[in-house]
Amino acid sequence: MGEKFYITTPIYYINDRPHIGHAYTTIVADALSRFYAHEGKKVAFVAGTDENGQKTVDAARKGGESTAAYADRLAEIWKTTWRALGIANTDFIRTTEMRHRETVVEIWRRIWNSGDIYRGRYEGLYCRGHEAFLKESDLIDGECPEHKQKPELVSEENYFFRLSKYEKPLLELYEKNPEFIVPRSRYNEVRSFVRSGLEDLSISRESRNWGIPVPDDPSQVIYVWFDALINYVSAVGLHGWEAHPADIHAIGKDIVRFHAVIWPAMLLSAKLPLPGQVAANGFLTIDGVKISKTLGNAVDPVGLARRYGTDALRYYLLREVPYGEDGDFSLEKFRERYNADLANGLGNFSARVLALGEKLGKSSIRELDASAVERIEAAHKTVREKIRQFRFHEVLIAVWELIAFGDVYINFKRPWEKTDPQAICTLVAILDNVAAMVKPLLPDTSLRITKSIRWVSNSAFVVEKSDALFPRIAD
């Protein structure tokens, strides 16, 4: 096994069940982890749940449960969801675990010893939905624009992190490494935010008997976001992070400032290495409307996957939404793309090629058509380049262009009229390479195709037909 590769999803709040927006971010991380594993890396892929905030306490109280019982139940729901969607994370961390609590305390002490924590009074506008303080400039008509609620005016004695001290080091980081934040629009947003001036950050709240106590001061608990960010270190341990910090934090754009401003500042203060990249996807809307617990319009990704298959969901999200941009999900558009691209595209091509290959019987690869070889090699090159650039939709466009070439080739050669071993072997090679290229993005589909093309030696194969990859959805 080759060198290490470490990728993370956000540490998700457990005040609600996972919806399709959470699934999108996690599928992106899963696709990247599979790609780098295929490239020979030893991958650590961590997902998890953020359980220490006031929202957890409020949700448990509302449901009549103890906070601990509620946290256990919701964490299991999140784990089960990722299993149901075929997410291949290697670890799942909960912020209530002892390994996390111990790491948080150690990093707090390191930052304290750097002189970057002090006590003071904070008065500000606190949004329970964000579990964060907002500025007046963040509000629209006096309300949080995301949660449609007026924040509470809070005045407390808290501990503060000297975030302002790291304004210049952060700007130097962005200047030296413009790929630290992707896409470019988020990079520009973060750099502009830091240039406008950073204020010190309140990093504790009065204790409400839930959360991680401030070391040597049990009257305070550590601010939930300060604690939550440290999960990325907790999952691999301090020594593990020092040896190999995260290569990619895959997140949503709503938390990019936490990951690209606060988190690297914390690490610099604690004298720990920085992650390689913060990659932020855009928002998903449902039929043009923002996903909202109040509106009850969240789409259950597990229900979709059970009905249409996990790869159909993965395909839609990775193909329909250019990474970093906002996108929309509608069942109508989902079904249209399913039928056009999956049933009529890959599914139909696969069925035709496997039927021809099965009739041919055991065959040895003969000299392949040169034009097909050229197309295959070009597609592989594009796939490797674009996936590293988070251009998942362009990866799939390149593969589907190869499928379209295969359709033209099969119609031109018409190998069903007379047995044409070279043409059939060329088509089998195209399909086999399509399976290899989509493996990180559509793992189940790739596996089903490769099971149908059984290689009995380096050059000989037997084809066995399988059930339809993507049965057409009736109108």
Spans of all domains in the chain: 4-281, 331-463
How far apart are the C-alpha atoms of 136 and 36, rounded to whole Å?
A: 43
* Closest C-alpha among 370, 330, 361, 354 to residue 427: 354
Which is more confidently placed, 465 or 446? 446
Fold type of domain 4-281: Rossmann fold (3.40.50)
Q: What is the mean pLDDT of the chain?
A: 93
Report the CATH number of the 331-463 domain.
1.10.730.10
How far apart are the C-alpha atoms of 206 and 193, rounded to whole Å?
A: 29
Q: Does the pLDDT at position 271 exceed 60?
A: yes
Contact (Cβ atoms closer than 8 angstroms) between residue 351 and residue 345 = no
Contact (Cβ atoms closer than 8 angstroms) between residue 379 and residue 398 = yes
Q: Which residues 6+ apart lie within 8 Å of 416 measured at CB?
A: 356
Beta strands in 98-247 (DSSP E): 117-127, 132-134, 152-161, 181-182, 201-202, 204-206, 213-214, 217-222
The whole-number pLDDT of residue 149 equals 76
123-137, 400-414, 415-429, 444-458, range with greatest mean pLDDT = 400-414
The whole-number pLDDT of residue 388 equals 98
Q: Is 39 exposed, middle or buried (0-12, 13-18, 19+ CB in 10 A)?
A: middle
Beta pairing partners, 363:
461
Among all chains, which residue has been given the structure tokens 């790491």? 103
Contact (Cβ atoms closer than 8 angstroms) between residue 282 and residue 326 = yes
Q: Does the pLDDT at position 129 exceed 70?
A: no
The whole-number pLDDT of residue 208 equals 79
Helix (H) or strand (E) holding 427: helix 421-438
Residues in the chain: 475
Dihedral in degrees, nearest 10, Cα atoms 95, 233, 251, 304: -50
Q: What does the pLDDT look like over 41-61, one tens digit per residue? A: 999 999 999 999 888 999 999
How far apart are the C-alpha atoms of 139 and 145, rounded to whole Å?
A: 6
Q: Which residues 6+ apart lie within 8 Å of 391 measured at CB?
A: 322, 323
How far apart are the C-alpha atoms of 250 and 5, rounded to whole Å?
A: 13
* Closest C-alpha among 250, 313, 344, 300 to residue 444: 313
Question: Among residues of the chain, what percentage have pLDDT more than 70?
Answer: 97
**Segment among 71-85, 263-277, 313-327, 412-426 with least mean pLDDT:** 412-426
Q: Does the pLDDT at position 94 exceed 90?
A: yes
Average pLDDT estimate for 31-39: 98
Contact (Cβ atoms closer than 8 angstroms) between residue 261 and residue 198 = yes
The whole-number pLDDT of residue 30 equals 99
DSSP H helices, 49-183, are 54-63, 67-84, 98-113, 167-176
The whole-number pLDDT of residue 293 equals 63
Neighbours of 221 (CB within 10 A): 22
Copy the structure tokens of residue 113.
């010893």
From residue 392, alpha-carbon distances to 251, 299, 388, 438 in Å are: 15, 22, 9, 10
Which is more confidently placed, 313 or 17? 313
Residue 114 is classified by DSSP as T
Q: What does the pLDDT look like over 176-233, one tens digit per residue? A: 999 999 999 999 999 999 999 999 999 999 887 899 999 999 999 999 999 999 999 9
Copy the structure tokens of residue 256.
């990019």
Q: What does the pLDDT look like over 349-403, one tens digit per residue? A: 999 999 998 888 777 776 889 999 999 999 999 999 999 999 999 999 999 999 9
Contact (Cβ atoms closer than 8 angstroms) between residue 423 and residue 415 = yes
Neighbours of 448 (CB within 10 A): 16
Q: Considering the entire predicted model, what is its pTM?
A: 0.93
28-37, 289-298, 406-415, range with greatest mean pLDDT = 28-37
Average pLDDT estimate for 169-173: 99
Helices and strands: H and E segment counts in the chain: 19, 19
Neighbours of 366 (CB within 10 A): 13
DSSP letters along 348-406, please? HHHHHHHHHHHHH-SEE--PPPHHHHHHHHHHHHHHHHHHHTT-HHHHHHHHHHHHHHH
The whole-number pLDDT of residue 16 equals 82
The whole-number pLDDT of residue 259 equals 99
Contact (Cβ atoms closer than 8 angstroms) between residue 43 and residue 89 = no
Dihedral in degrees, nearest 10, Cα atoms 366, 367, 372, 373: 110
The whole-number pLDDT of residue 242 equals 98
Q: Does the pLDDT at position 142 exceed 80?
A: no
249: left (phi over 0), alpha (psi -120 to 50) or beta: beta
Copy the structure tokens of residue 194.
């830091």
The whole-number pLDDT of residue 454 equals 87
Question: Among residues of the chain, what percentage have pLDDT more than 90?
Answer: 79
Q: Residue 137 — pLDDT band, cuts 50, 70, 90? A: confident
Q: Which residues 6+ apart lie within 8 Å of 474 measured at CB?
A: none
